[in-house]
Amino acid sequence: MTDWFTEIGAVCREVDAFLVKKEAQDSPLLQAVLMGEGIELNDKVTEIHGRLQSELAILDAELQTLGQAWEALDSQAEGRVNDLPLAKLEAIGQRLGFWVKWSGQLAERSGRLMF
């Protein structure tokens, strides 16, 4: 998780600095010159976002597996709460929260780079 946090934070800061520089340009010619750098940054954001989406797919598969384990305990009345994979569900929920937040941040930066 810390690797993701570091990588996404760094690319967001890089994009933000570029956008400040781009928006400070009044000249359409200078903005056009910066377009190449913007496209490269957008490619970087898109690549990270794609890897993040792959991680979300892995979390989805883990949730489906937990769902099956949950359903297997449906008929168990006694001690069911102790056997439910609640700790795993909580851990996935925490990771999912970060992944969704980061996905939104990357999508927002990508959109701003394109305009």
Alpha helix ranges (H) inside 73-85: 80-83
| Mean of pLDDT values over 100-108 | 95
Residue pair 44/7 in contact (Cβ under 8 Å)? The answer is: no
| Domain chopping of the chain, boundaries | 2-114
pTM for the whole thing? 0.82
Residue pair 15/111 in contact (Cβ under 8 Å)? The answer is: no
pLDDT above 80 (res 9): yes
Half-sphere exposure of 11 (CA within 13 A, CB side): 25
